[in-house]
Amino acid sequence: MRGKYHISKDGVPRKCVAIRQPCRLGGHFNTEEEAYNYSQEKFRMEDDYETHVLYETEYDMAEAEKRGKFVEQEMEYVKNYKNTSVTEIDEMGNWTKARQEVHKKILSELMDKYKNVPCDKKSIFSAGLPGAGKTTVLTKYENLNMNEWATVSSDDIKEMLAEKGYVPEVEGLTPMESSTLVHEESSYLADRLLSELSKQGKNIIYDFTCKKTSSALRRMGVLTDNGYKYEDMQFVYVDIDPNTAKLRAKNRYLQGLNQGINTAIENKYLDEQKKIIGGRYLPEHIIDGCKPNDNKYSSVNAENIVELHSDKSMNLPRPKIYNNMGSEPVAIDYEEFIK
């Protein structure tokens, strides 16, 4: 990207001379001054984290929001040359052999985890915006024994990749802060896991946001191809609006960030080092993409749940709806929900 700048490892802005794009060193700064200012902000963020560990203090919300904005900026900076959907793809467009081995290990571990799950070919689509409280609803309000279900969640797979050191390292950030770099990969693995579990007829909980009906229908198709019936596909939708989702996403990031700080503090006093994965920062623009097309429902995700169940040919059971915008989830009759 000639005429633009990237930042070298010593923090000095240097002009990009790469001919092929994307440049493996990044490089989307238009001026040397812009690159320099960014490098100084990066140093401040790194020093701030180390200071919290040194003085054994947790982040407050204002500090976490500031760091989160920097994480978002950093991900934008490195995405074109550190995203595994770029770096771990060979010239034929397939995952590299080394990465395929990683996938094999991840999927093998998950399949082993769910080896004793019943094979009744039942499925639950657990849907809602980030932070909706889906797991809480399933365990405390639907009274599910989670040992009797195999859960498919791309977010869980992101955490596995982070814990095992498979998220590309970004200096100054925790693995979960960098987990955007395995977003496509975690979705790919979730689809692989869904396919493998459904071949065995396992009872499956599919955890997703339902932002697109096409994606939901594709996953439902995987199940029907393996003998599952539409009438056994129960949707459980936990309803919150985007503003609530933003607030909860910030709180979850703060919690994860401080868990990482506390682990780092513990590591100063322990012989055995614990893995610091930190918290996942979710940019607000992602949640903004869930705003409804009209004011009848709280989000486009809720609209999609209604659209999916308006197709009577599939004979889906009536979805279970919970409103979780208050202090605790409240069950809502579906007929009331769609009025």
Read off the pLDDT of residues 244-301 as tens digits, 9 standing for 90 and up: 999 999 999 999 999 999 999 999 887 777 889 999 999 999 999 999 998 899 999 9
Q: Look at strands 330-332 and 5-7 and give their pairing.
A: unpaired
Same domain, 27 and 118: no
Same domain, 118 and 244: yes
Same domain, 116 and 180: yes
**Rounded distance between C-alpha atoms, residue 204 and residue 206, angstroms:** 6
Read off the pLDDT of residues 29-56 as tens digits, 9 standing for 90 and up: 778 888 888 888 888 999 999 999 999 9
Same domain, 1 and 105: no
The residues pairing with 239 across neighbouring beta strands, listed in sequence order, are 323
pLDDT tier for residue 2 given thresholds of 50, 70 and 90: very low
Domain membership of residue 87 (yes or no) is no
Residue 247's domain spans which residues? 97-337
Q: Do the Cβ atoms of 252 and 280 come closer than 8 Å? A: yes
Domain membership of residue 280 (yes or no) is yes
Same domain, 139 and 14: no
Domain membership of residue 128 (yes or no) is yes
Domain membership of residue 51 (yes or no) is no
Residue 270's CB: how many other CB atoms inside 10 A? 10
Same domain, 7 and 147: no
Q: Which residue reads 């896991």 in tokens?
A: 193
What is the distance in angstroms between the CA of the first residue and the CA of the last residue of the chain? 54
Domain membership of residue 89 (yes or no) is no
Same domain, 10 and 123: no
Same domain, 25 and 144: no
Same domain, 35 and 101: no
For the whole model, what pTM was predicted?
0.90
Same domain, 132 and 24: no
**Rounded distance between C-alpha atoms, residue 136 and residue 70, angstroms:** 31
Q: Do the Cβ atoms of 11 and 39 come closer than 8 Å? A: yes
Quote the number of domains for the chain: 2
Domain membership of residue 88 (yes or no) is no
What CATH code is carried by the domain that includes residue 144?
A: 3.40.50.300
Same domain, 27 and 167: no
Q: Which residue reads 């990009």 in tokens?
A: 16
**Rounded distance between C-alpha atoms, residue 174 and residue 165, angstroms:** 11
Residues 6+ apart with CB under 8 A from 328: none
